[in-house]
Structure 1
Amino acid sequence: MLKNKNAELQKQSNESQKLLNKVNMLEDELFSHKNSLKGLSSNSEKVAENLKKEIHTLQNDKKVAERKADSLNAKISELSSSLTANFGTKQVEATSQKLPEVKWSTNIQYLIKYQLVDEEILRKLEMGFITPAEVEDLLVQPIDKPTAITGVYVESSKKKISFIEAAEKGFLAKTYALEFLEAQAATGSLADLATGQIHSVAEAVEMGIIDVSMKDKLMEAEKAVRGYVHKGRMLSVFQAMEERILDRYKGKKILEVQVATGGLINPETLTRVPACIAVEQGLLSKEILQSLYDPVSNPRGFHNPDTGQKAYYSEVLKTCLYDVDGGVFLTPFGERHLTSTSPLSPHKVSVVNSSCGSEMSTHEAFKGKHIDKKTYLSLSRLESEWQEKPITDPSGNMCHIITDNRSGRQICLESALSQRFLEASELESYRSGALSIYEIVDIIFSRMVIVEDVNSTIAGLWDVTQKKRLSILQGFQQGLTDRATALRLLESQACTGGICDPSSGEKLTLCDALNRGLVDEGLNQQLQPFEQAYNGIVDPLTGKTLTVSQAAQENLFPKDAAFRCIEFQLLTGGPIDPVTHDRVSPEEAIQRGLVDKVIASSLKDEKHHTKALSCPKTKRRITFKEALERSVFDCHTGLRLLEATKLHGFGAKSTFHYSTQRVQI
């Protein structure tokens, strides 16, 4: 009854909103007419006066529509609360273990704002392939599969072992092993490593999965799932913290684990609830949620078995492998760094089969039918965060750009189609919702053949900590390099073909680079001469296009800037003919008079190379030649990237997206 009434009021609210939009549209139109009449003669003043009266009438209608909409929204909110309260009164019988159906009214815009649903789900929702109710069902999951880290994957033997066995073999300290076992117990994921079947602590002790000496600590951790009994009530972790029966530091550590593994656990329903919805249900407060990844109020409470460094549970989870044998997550241990994201490899190993020793990427596992589509999508969401955005290119054409917000990679659907990396039928399947955004990206990447550009200058930076590609300007803005170094690197780009966008591999003019945010206004002015050096400097007397060396000899170009341009070009493949934009050998360039022989000879001697750059990684002074030698070729574009790190306490403070839900497998 309440649901039907809610739906009816929602319909009325939508109609009221349409009316309100129509009033606004007409109001704008009438004001437009009014402005156009200002320049007319006094004979038109009566027309303007009539329009004012119509505007006044419409404004009154608008106020009425707004009051009606507010009233209807208030009623809907009241009914939604009734539905939530009605849901909250249901209890789970301890003997039956049957979970109740979870339903409540959730604002879709709220879910979008806090990234609780991804682009793929939104697109299907817009096209009518799924309903809002089905979206809600996706967000609330029963505790029936392990989502926590279950054991260790030994890279040398390609076998999995339990945390207890790893501690016995000396791979990690016993206290570290206990940390991960407590995390399993606190998320209802204490699993048999061989089968993936989850058990209670008591069952695990009885079956010999865990040692009896750990029972008491794990039973205490398990209360995070079963609930903390207090004054006849069954409390969640947060509620127990508020009642002061659970230490706040310990409670925050448990909450961070639960958020990372799928959501806060409601002990009354034994379901995982996304963090931001848990706030609405009183399972968490906004203040605690916002402080979960604050290293001051909630220090990192786990140790990465592979590095030994302190980490949040979510950080360790992102480095894990999914074992198809048992359907469990394993943390890797060894020297191969299988799950490490690098610009050198397009796909990291994400899936293993410990029963036969096979290792593969998520896409390879899906294509080989080792995992189903649901698992493929879930693992893909852990690795990347692809979003599509339409833009207008410099020619005025509409392009659809897909960007990975985590790694900084970017592809254009139209370019992929024209280069035959994507078939028209596949694009249509993507548009219809038959193919996910992750599938379309993997299809494109699987067909691309990237060749290293040996003539590439430094196209961008690779943030070693965030595992992400950055433009030179972004690197400066985020405190990874100083402005002087950023300027020199951008000078090298401008005089060798254009400003590089490391996310796509494009080389742009300064005008386009400014529009795209690859340079700012100040840099744009400073780089103008270097773009001229690439395109040639026109002699005002003869009209002849000169090289930068020739222009400097004629005093048409600053000599110090000319010297840098020649250095940049010589070290990245040879001088560039400004007319054809072809590279020529130094010998040919000297013969043709494109480069001064004295300058070319002096640049062969490394003593003339100035240490004008600060290494973005070590912060030591280096030459441009040394920067090229330290760079790596990006597997995504074939261009050079320079590794970068941020000095402790320098640059903007990084943020952690705590609200994103981990999708269940």
Structure 2
Amino acid sequence: MNAILEDSGDDTKGFFDPNTNDNLTYLQLLDRCVIDPSTGLTLLPIHDPSSSLNHTFIGYDIKKVFKGVMVKVTCGKYMGMTVSLWELLMSEYFTEQQRQAFIEQYRNKTLTIEIIVTKVLEIIEHSVKTANVVFEGIREKVTANQLAEADIITENDLADLREGKKTVKDVTENESVQTYLQGKPSIAGVMLPDSQIMSVYQARQKGILRPGTSLVLLEAQAATGFIIDPIANRKFSVDDAVKARVIGADLHAKLSSAEKAVTGYQDPYTGKKISLFQAMQNDLIVKDHGIRLLEAQIATGGIIDPVNSHRIPVHIAYKLGYFDTEMNQILCDPTDDTKGFFDPNTHENLTYMQLLSRCVTDQSTDLCLLTIKGNDKRVTIGGSAKEVFQTTYVSVRYGRFSNKKVTLWDLINSEYLSEEKRQELLKRYNVNGLRGKVSILELLNSAIIDEKTYKNVLEGKLTIKDLAEMGTVRNFLSGTSCIAGVILQKSNQKMSIYQAKKEGYLTPGTALCLLEAQAATGFIIDPIQDRKLTVEEALKQKVLVPELYEKLLAAEKAVTGYKDPYTGKTISLFEAIKKDLIVKQHGIRLLEAQIATGGIIDPLTGLHLPLEVAFKKGYFDADLNKILADQSDDTKGFFDPTTQENLTYMEMLARCIKDPETGLFLLPIRFDAKCHAIY
């Protein structure tokens, strides 16, 4: 068989050149192919006189010339050998850019073969001289040539290193070079209010950070270089971090996956090492997860080249296919979808860069630490007030924001304000609402207070306490009392709605309607101990039983909001009725209870709204107003167990007695009403 293949007659020339119509051996056909510079693959050219193929690829004729020129090499891996000019050009001593330049200059006849040979030998000699000049990369040594190819150092720097005019130390004193080699600090751990420092994993174990928050912070560490122990100021690979017990074995798999953003992913088709961005393109990593890791890399010094173990400038990342314009646009215009990190202090979703800007630097280690503010009596702010702070820009003259315009929100949450001062500012702006804090701006926007009152609070002329005690404001903040329970006539015994049902004074249907009205107007009420509870709290405190839980949880959404199945946004009770997320008759009953106890509830702010404001917001309309105004039996959704009448909630409230001890409204029930409830 060897003799047959060596004597390649027409019988063994089993391949055909479509350009020359020759029968060839495979080796001969390979020889006539061109090399694709971007992939290194061998392609068979189909000649077309109008094609620019020969200007893009290394053609057969040039390849044949370069293969025919033999060169004796005196240094490097080819030392003492005579090899073809083609083999030298295709070796690791030359970048694709250099290769293309030589081919183009030969094609344009600006360089002769002899001059090319001389230059090729010079480059090999220089490469050998600088091969021993190495820098500390992220995980491996990096040569001066690699840094020059990545535009991290200049050709002049390379020449100075080669000739001994500069040392590695000299070059790495350049801040830009140091950043590309080692990166900038990632978030290494947390600092507690008492200045105690903890690793991210310790904070997770102690419940200071949520599992999800801590995981993304640890993934960011792994994807930017190392897992960090901020106490000992040591850096570990994921494997070593598990061995050193800096992290638990439970996170090993997830963090090893994130670490591939540094060490490289394996292309399942070629087996080659590829970058984080290429892994995203090949669906080896979920896009949202990949964006989070990529953004962390960019925020800490630049995209990591896993092949050469250092970070690279953006234009080099484009060139290598490690980044593109679409991804750049996504990261430049961060929406909530791309804000993959969570601030445990303000409960905001942020980019990694934004979260880094809120960290402090530990003076003894230079590590970046996320400060955890004290939770005792902390004031938070949300809704439209937060939006105002985030869209109000301030020009700053000093500090790290010097000569920049930053948002009021960023300034409030920066290191320049003590926690005490921050809380003081937020307290001046916040009012206690139905289920959380409400800003005075929201009161103004909802026409609950006027402009003059708003300014008086901001200027300190009127305190938040005084404002909240104003009758109209108090009613819109927390509502008026719903039907909190029952009172037995003659004995004056007070009972909760559930207890009255259990004792037989209320039918299950009547009790459920009254409990749903409680849930839909704010809270489940325990009139005996004067407690207001969420549905979940009521179940835990055994004010309710499990069989009522789901129904009352559904009614509670009239306060907390329903989720629009199409947009995912929080919508009001009325909007839920219109979208058929709740049965109309049931929804009208809950809405009527809200109106009777202070106004329609805005689930976004937790405020009871004046009717005209509810109209404007789309939380009410003329048709529904007409239905409620024309109170037929169809809209009388509540039942008086004493008189056996169907009533509106307002009519039921009018029949209640105010408890002098608690101020709660209690429905009077005749002692003999138990018979009606049973029979």
Which of the two has higher C-alpha Rg? 2
TM range (shorter): 0.3 to 0.5
Larger RCO, structures 1/2 (Cα 8 Å, 6+ apart): 1
Output the TM-score relative to the length of structure 1.
0.35
